[in-house]
């Protein structure tokens, strides 16, 4: 399988190269040159597989430059009940991404049982093992430069801590994460982890990461790599749980299922789009946003208008405080029938914070052919929905998942099962949980005194040159 760039300016590469390579040299995102498809018979044969077995079947279709037995061993080592141990229900303790039934056709798929209590662990743990494998084979090192609004950062750091040949430089928006998220990242004392708090919002952090990646000389000299969903390895590993969720709820293999996905950088729902392109019978993909509703506007009007920092709001689902969604580029590439010239034209504007409006016939295809719908939530909705789910089903859901619950209700068709993807555990967002439920959220025993641990981080202005200096001072060349 070869990989190309959404903007057309990259010679085809193999999986291991794009895994280490981050952003494509032309500023675009790497994407498989075609989607492998499962037939109905093949889907039927996958239905009863365990998570690691399923992960191998899906991921191996995209990876043909790591021998199958080695890839399988890496996947088996990643997806264990010991790693994904923070489940709510002891009866499901050996399940990875268990599905909770709310009613006959409404379900929540738990994706946050990994080490850092967010869905990012599903792909990041595998990425850590893949990096280590490929770097060891090649005798190379990598310096990961990433951006987080709260969850990617800790997932990456927990996955990479102590890994040989890997350093992590993680940018986060100063003062914008929850106290739990901050403590999770900043309390790590490992020598290969650098936390950089940027005096701005997530979008500025992501722009800095892209600027560093777009400096080819710096990138080559300092061996810069990515762990954000810029990295294809991330989204493809996320596609696996759509298969798992589908088989858990489909009345019969081949029947349609809808998924509702709390969204910000569009990586999670892009993974759903990939699963759908691979032949998984997903009918609708519902994009749920918070008050930063650029994606909701896009799927309702066909107009994509990233907002400036002055119009990016701090909300109570803070990990989705994003107004320039990186992975939308991959979906729009498919929507434009993979016309890289047209895509590059649009995204050169997006890189400069300019928007675009789709032609009506293209806009119609997002709904009719690709199954997208959307909905947004306010703080009041979020609090009311956390309360409703607790009162009705006895389940605590976090603020991001609550945004998903609202969108799922808005687009529900009771004839078709609907899976809401849970993206974090409530323990990460105590203030909003207390407001909604008047009680502290459940917290895993191993994380009881997290906020009391000493914290370590540096502060930078939102300046890509300052970031390059910071990296250069810490990486021996």
Ligand X SMILES: Cc1ncc(COP(=O)(O)O)c(C=O)c1O
Ligand Y SMILES: N[C@@H](CCOP(=O)(O)O)C(=O)O
| Ramachandran sector of residue 360 (left: φ over 0; alpha: ψ -120 to 50; beta: rest) | alpha
Query: Could you give the CA distance from residue 444 to residue 396 in angstroms, rounded to a whole number?
Result: 13
Three-state SS for 117-150 is: CECHHHHHHHHHHHHHHHHHHHCCCEEEEEECCC
Q: What is the smallest separation between the CB atom of 69 and ligand Y, expressed in angstroms?
A: 30
- Residue tagged active-site, from 120, 176, 376, 406: 120
* Alpha-helix residue ranges (DSSP H) falling in 250-327: 267-277, 294-301
Q: What is the smallest separation between the CB atom of 219 and ligand Y, expressed in angstroms?
A: 18
Q: How many angstroms from the chain centroid is the CA of residue 417?
A: 23
Per CB under 6 A, contacts with ligand X among 224-253 are 229
Is residue 194 a contact point for ligand X (CB under 6 A)? Answer: no
Is residue 125 a contact point for ligand Y (CB under 6 A)? Answer: no
Is residue 422 a contact point for ligand Y (CB under 6 A)? Answer: no
Is residue 149 a contact point for ligand Y (CB under 6 A)? Answer: yes
Residue 361's CB is within 10 A of a number of other CB atoms, namely 8
Is residue 213 a contact point for ligand X (CB under 6 A)? Answer: no
Q: What H or E segment, with its residue span, contains residue 205?
A: helix 202-213
Whether 342 is catalytic is no
Write the interaction track for ligand Y spanning residues 221-240; mark x where CB under 6 A is met and - where it is not.
Answer: -------xx-----------
Options 44-52, 78-86, 144-152, 405-413: segment touching ligand Y (CB under 6 A): 144-152
Q: What are phi and psi of 173, to 5 degrees?
A: -75, 125
Is residue 382 a contact point for ligand X (CB under 6 A)? Answer: no
- Are 117 and 423 in contact, with CB atoms under 8 Å apart? no
Per CB under 6 A, the list member of 213, 326, 385, 401 interacting with ligand Y is 326
Residue 90's CB is within 10 A of a number of other CB atoms, namely 7
Is residue 265 a contact point for ligand X (CB under 6 A)? Answer: yes
Per CB under 6 A, contacts with ligand X among 449-468 are none
Options 168-176, 266-274, 302-310, 353-361: segment touching ligand X (CB under 6 A): 266-274
Nearer Cβ to ligand Y, position 98 or 153?
153
Q: Running DSSP on this structure, what letter comes out for residue 307?
A: P
Is residue 398 a contact point for ligand Y (CB under 6 A)? Answer: no
Match 């994460």 to its residue by tokens.
177
Residue 52's CB is within 10 A of a number of other CB atoms, namely 18
- Are 338 and 382 in contact, with CB atoms under 8 Å apart? no
**Binding interface with ligand X (CB under 6 A):** 118, 150-151, 229, 262-268, 319-320, 400, 423-424
Task: Tell me the catalytic residues.
Answer: 120
**Binding interface with ligand Y (CB under 6 A):** 148-153, 228-229, 264-265, 267, 319, 326
């Amino acid at each position: 399988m070869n990989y190309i760039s959404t903007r057309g300016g990259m010679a085809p590469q193999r999986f291991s190269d794009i895994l280490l390579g981050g952003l494509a040299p032309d500023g675009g995102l790497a994407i498989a040159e075609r989607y492998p498809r499962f037939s109905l018979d093949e889907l039927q044969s996958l239905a009863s597989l365990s998570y690691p077995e399923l992960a191998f079947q899906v991921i191996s279709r995209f990876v043909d430059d790591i021998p199958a037995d080695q890839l399988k061993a890496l996947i088996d080592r990643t997806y264990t009940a010991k790693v994904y141990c923070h489940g709510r229900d002891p009866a499901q303790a050996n399940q990875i991404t268990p599905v909770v039934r709310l009613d006959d056709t409404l379900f929540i798929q738990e994706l946050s049982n990994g080490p850092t209590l967010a869905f990012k662990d599903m792909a990041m743990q595998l990425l850590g093992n893949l990096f280590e494998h490929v770097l060891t084979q090649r005798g190379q090192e990598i310096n990961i430069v990433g951006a987080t609004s709260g969850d990617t950062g800790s997932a990456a750091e927990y996955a990479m801590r102590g890994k040989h040949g890997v350093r992590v430089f993680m940018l986060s928006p100063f003062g914008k994460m929850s106290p739990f998220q901050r403590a999770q990242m900043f309390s790590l004392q490992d020598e290969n982890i650098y936390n950089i708090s940027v005096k701005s919002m997530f979008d500025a952090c992501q722009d800095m990461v892209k600027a560093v990646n777009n400096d080819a000389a710096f990138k080559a000299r300092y061996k810069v790599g990515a762990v954000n969903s810029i990295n294809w390895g991330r989204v493809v590993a996320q596609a696996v749980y759509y298969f798992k969720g589908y088989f858990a709820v489909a009345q019969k293999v081949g029947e349609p299922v809808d998924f509702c996905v709390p969204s910000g950088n569009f990586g999670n729902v892009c993974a759903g789009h990939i699963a759908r392109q691979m032949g998984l019978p997903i009918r609708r993909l519902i994009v749920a946003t918070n008050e930063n509703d650029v994606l909701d506007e896009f799927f309702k009007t066909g107009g994509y208008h990233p907002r400036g920092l002055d119009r990016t709001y701090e909300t109570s689902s803070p990990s989705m405080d994003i107004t320039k969604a990186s992975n939308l580029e991959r979906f729009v590439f498919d929507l434009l029938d993979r016309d890289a010239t047209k895509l590059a034209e649009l995204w050169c504007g997006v890189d400069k914070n300019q928007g675009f409006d789709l032609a009506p016939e293209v806009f119609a295809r997002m709904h009719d052919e690709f199954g997208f719908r959307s909905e947004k939530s306010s703080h009041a909705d979020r609090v009311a929905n956390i309360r409703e789910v607790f009162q009705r089903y006895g389940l605590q859901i976090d603020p991001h998942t609550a945004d998903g619950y609202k969108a799922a209700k808005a687009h529900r068709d009771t004839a078709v099962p609907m899976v809401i993807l849970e993206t974090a555990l409530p323990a990460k967002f105590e203030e909003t949980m207390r407001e909604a439920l008047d009680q502290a959220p459940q917290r895993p025993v191993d994380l009881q005194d997290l906020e009391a641990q000493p914290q370590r981080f540096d502060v930078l202005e939102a300046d890509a040159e300052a970031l390059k200096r910071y990296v250069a001072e810490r990486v021996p060349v």
